[in-house]
Chain A
Amino acid sequence: MPTEVLMPALSPTMEKGNLAKWLKKEGDPVKSGDVIAEIETDKATMEVEAVDEGTLGKILVPEGTADVAVNTPIAMILAEGEDAAALKDGKRAPAKQSQAEQAARQQKAAEPAPPAQQAESPKKAEAPARTGTAQPPSTARMPEPDVPAGTELVSMTMREALRDAMAEEMRRDPDVFVMGEEVAEYQGAYKVTQGLLDEFGARRVIDTPITEHGFAGVGVGAALAGLKPVVEFMTFNFAMQAMDQLINSAAKTQYMSGGQVTVSIVFRGPNGPASRVAAQHSQDYSAWYSHIPGLKVIAPSNAADAKGLLKAAIRDPNPVIFLENEILYGHSSQVPRLDDYVLPIGRARIVRPGKDVTIVAWSMGMTYALKAAEELTKENIEAEVIDLRTLKPMDSDTIVKSVKKTGRLVTVEEGWKQSGVGSEIAARISEKAFDYLDAPVTRVCGKDVPMPYAANLEKLALPSIAEIVEAVKAASYR
């Protein structure tokens, strides 16, 4: 029986990739371990090794095909003794690109690409939750007050938006530099800094050894001298090594010095669970950092916010913890095409207005919240979904105003329940909107366990859309 070779997932969050090159031709012998093809994802170029032995019978996906979904059959291998006749004529083409997507890609290619944007990253369609049929079109994306009417919107991934933010700030201010593990020559462990080394050189894009405690301190020292470092942690799990420098040296110095010394530094990187990376690599640090006076803490959920807020963070004279998310890096959404798109830190945004219940979320939590809101519409419950965007300083005024309208509040976070950010929100609402509450505040959180590895357990450990829907219905006494 001929065996199918399937498009492999080369990272926990990979959903598709480009089949860049075939290293074997039809008719070539294949042994276990032979490299037969090269695949490009938005993160890296990887090799595909054959597991089965035989002859490469048929190539199903030609070289150069983009956006091949994981598990698509890409070739057939004939076992010893089989010949071409054994191949079924079942050529399965990869998912065909829609006309619109193709047109958009061509248009993008025609525009002069900014030097930092060299990656051929597959453009995902806008996340369905934000254009669900239940949403009135005018509120699908509430414009920031400072984006001029008629501004062109460009679709890009959050990864690209973050890169653009850093590149723009580095062009604007020679004191801004980037450092971290693999940020330069590797083009970024998650390809967020891709292209920066080429444009700005090794003096301003610096690969560090694996020494978080040390290089966080070096970054703070450089900030004491007046430079503006952007320090990348490969994930915030590794930042625990550096915690003393972040809190005792960065956060507290302005206060301890009576205002004489400021520390303008950004610490950024992926936070929270990714996919199947288990307990030591999945922690959500929102609650820890937002506890500290002197730190600003930002957690964007989409590309436009990521760009505008990272630019603001780099300009801010305070130390900023910029919590990104590995899964969100690949999500595309609309970003205004403006020369200098900077958003205010400390302002939440009502992403979806509603009258029956308030749901507050941030970062990955917004994905669950918006999908839950869609589900709730089917039950005639209109949820108002607020994207907190900044955890510290927290815009509780926007939440209070909303709760005064809806009378019910559900918070959503991936972090653990005890002493989580939802607890803080609940306390503030209790203080400022007690008389307006028709039900207790409910927190939907990651479960209070270290993140398990097994796929089913991980799903259970994370918050779910169903849990949010249930919480809303309970708060609505349905």
Chain B
Amino acid sequence: MLLIRRFEEKAGQMYGMGLIGGFCHLYIGQEAVVVGMKLAMRDGDQMITGYRDHGHMLACGMDPKGVMAELTGRRGGYSKGKGGSMHMFSLEQKFYGGHGIVGAQVPLGTGLAFANKYRGNNNVCLTYFGDGAANQGQVYESFNMAELWKLPVVYVIENNRYAMGTSVARSSAQPDLWKRGASFNIPGAQIDGMDVRAVKAAAEQAIAWCRSGKGPTILEMLTYRYRGHSMSDPAKYRTKEEVDKVRTEHDPIEQVRRRLLDKKWASEDDLKKIDAAVRAIVNEASEFATHDAEPDPSELYTDVYH
């Protein structure tokens, strides 16, 4: 979680310096969701998400240097600089993107689960989307097929309360997103997405259900992002007090820190060492991403047939 936090903070900084351009959607505050889910996954399980995807990539074990260099559009990036923030993949780490169109990843993730069932490989696909995407039609088309065909997919709804500037209350007739599968008989649950233990426990149950062939499940993660929707969002649709309250009372990393110290599972020194190690990784990534070369102009025409 700390790696994701520091990485995203650095990315925000680099965006401000003009090293990262275009879209950049930060995961700061939501770390417990992907990390808790990942703890319950096993080798072979896949992950797919939308555009707020840097945290997912790091959780899947992708190299921070490759991710950061893709953000800066360099040849050492995961997509050779041709994709950017929203379009990175790692077949090796079973991370299937990185998608820019809201909700598009939901049928795709359902298709990955379809392939799992087709092959009988017992793998589960974790398909993430947000409260905004939860109103997209193709999500319900996917729900229907997933339950009809009993596909091994866990739908993780990262409800951070705002779809860009529109709150769930203003956009959704049924704001309890965990119930959105009821029309298709898909079981759902609502989880405190700021507590990594709660996430992991829910993930284990949901994944086990899917893996046993019982069909899809929905996990609504109540979470929060401290920054705006993207780097260009001044976030005027919520109060500073609201953000501060969540940060002081519910921060996912701070919760773990305090617990480690209170229960004497780690000392301040231990935690400082972890912090330093994480910063070193992030700085190395940042250095690499800043100094790596841009793609060769010949790459304009590669990776598409002619």
Query: Is B135 engaged at the interface, CB distance under 8 Å to the other chain?
Result: no
Q: Mark A219-259, 1 if CB is under 8 A from B, else 0.
A: 11111111100000000000000001100110001111111
Asked if residues B142 and A218 are in contact (CB atoms below 8 Å), the reply is: yes
Asked if residues A244 and B101 are in contact (CB atoms below 8 Å), the reply is: yes
Report B-chain residues with C-beta under 8 Å of the C-beta of A219: 111
Report B-chain residues with C-beta under 8 Å of the C-beta of A211: 141, 144-145
Query: Is B128 engaged at the interface, CB distance under 8 Å to the other chain?
Result: no
Report A-chain residues with C-beta under 8 Å of the C-beta of B89: 257, 260-261
Query: Is A275 engaged at the interface, CB distance under 8 Å to the other chain?
Result: no
Asked if residues A296 and B305 are in contact (CB atoms below 8 Å), the reply is: yes
Query: Is A177 engaged at the interface, CB distance under 8 Å to the other chain?
Result: yes
Q: Select which of B104, B119, B302 is within 8 A of A248 by beta carbon.
A: B104
Query: Is B138 engaged at the interface, CB distance under 8 Å to the other chain?
Result: yes
Report A-chain residues with C-beta under 8 Å of the C-beta of B288: none
Q: Select which of A208, A209, A217, A318 is within 8 A of B106 by beta carbon.
A: A217
Number of interface residues of B (CB under 8 A): 46
Distance in angstroms between the alpha carbons of A296 and B107 in the assembled complex:
22
Distance in angstroms between the alpha carbons of A208 and B146 in the assembled complex:
11
B306: nearest chain-A partner, CB-CB: A393
Task: Find residues 55-92 in chain B having any chain A CB closer than 8 Å to their own CB.
Answer: 77-83, 87-91
Distance in angstroms between the alpha carbons of A152 and B97 in the assembled complex:
49
* Contacts A211-B144, A244-B101; A217 near B111 (Cβ below 8 A): yes
Query: Is A294 engaged at the interface, CB distance under 8 Å to the other chain?
Result: yes
Report B-chain residues with C-beta under 8 Å of the C-beta of A221: 48, 96, 107-115
Task: Find residues 292-307 in chain A having any chain B CB closer than 8 Å to their own CB.
Answer: 293-294, 296
Query: Is B137 engaged at the interface, CB distance under 8 Å to the other chain?
Result: yes
B81: nearest chain-A partner, CB-CB: A258
Distance in angstroms between the alpha carbons of A260 and B104 in the assembled complex:
20
* Contacts A225-B116, A248-B101; A218 near B111 (Cβ below 8 A): yes
Asked if residues B91 and A203 are in contact (CB atoms below 8 Å), the reply is: no
Asked if residues A255 and B114 are in contact (CB atoms below 8 Å), the reply is: no
Query: Is A214 engaged at the interface, CB distance under 8 Å to the other chain?
Result: yes
Distance in angstroms between the alpha carbons of A260 and B80 in the assembled complex:
10
Distance in angstroms between the alpha carbons of A393 and B107 in the assembled complex:
29
Query: Is A267 engaged at the interface, CB distance under 8 Å to the other chain?
Result: no
Asked if residues A224 and B112 are in contact (CB atoms below 8 Å), the reply is: yes
Distance in angstroms between the alpha carbons of A221 and B146 in the assembled complex:
13
Report B-chain residues with C-beta under 8 Å of the C-beta of A245: 104, 107-108, 138
Report B-chain residues with C-beta under 8 Å of the C-beta of A258: 77-83, 303
Report A-chain residues with C-beta under 8 Å of the C-beta of B148: 209
Report B-chain residues with C-beta under 8 Å of the C-beta of A216: 107
Asked if residues A255 and B303 are in contact (CB atoms below 8 Å), the reply is: yes
Query: Is B12 engaged at the interface, CB distance under 8 Å to the other chain?
Result: no
* Contacts A254-B303, A393-B305; A218 near B104 (Cβ below 8 A): no
Q: What distance in Å separates the Cβ of A37 from its nearest Cβ neighbour in chain B? A: 37
Asked if residues B78 and A222 are in contact (CB atoms below 8 Å), the reply is: no
Asked if residues A218 and B83 are in contact (CB atoms below 8 Å), the reply is: no
Distance in angstroms between the alpha carbons of A294 and B101 in the assembled complex:
18
Query: Is A329 engaged at the interface, CB distance under 8 Å to the other chain?
Result: no
Query: Is A404 engaged at the interface, CB distance under 8 Å to the other chain?
Result: no
Report B-chain residues with C-beta under 8 Å of the C-beta of A296: 305
Distance in angstroms between the alpha carbons of A261 and B144 in the assembled complex:
27
Query: Is B100 engaged at the interface, CB distance under 8 Å to the other chain?
Result: yes
Task: Find residues 3-53 in chain B having any chain A CB closer than 8 Å to their own CB.
Answer: 46, 48
Query: Is B200 engaged at the interface, CB distance under 8 Å to the other chain?
Result: no
Report A-chain residues with C-beta under 8 Å of the C-beta of B265: none
Query: Is A368 engaged at the interface, CB distance under 8 Å to the other chain?
Result: no
Indicate the member of A217, A227, A244, A293 with the most B CB atoms within 10 Å: A217
Given A214-B140, A214-B141, A261-B91, output 13 extra A-B contacts at Cβ < 8 Å.
A203-B118, A208-B145, A213-B138, A217-B108, A217-B111, A218-B107, A220-B108, A221-B112, A224-B112, A249-B99, A256-B83, A257-B78, A258-B80
Interchain Cβ contacts under 8 Å between A and B, 15 examples: A209-B141, A214-B142, A217-B106, A219-B111, A224-B108, A225-B96, A225-B116, A245-B104, A256-B82, A257-B82, A258-B81, A259-B303, A260-B90, A294-B305, A318-B305
**Contact surface of B with A, Cβ cutoff 8 Å:** 46, 48, 77-83, 87-91, 96-97, 99-101, 104, 106-116, 118-119, 137-138, 140-142, 144-145, 148, 302-306
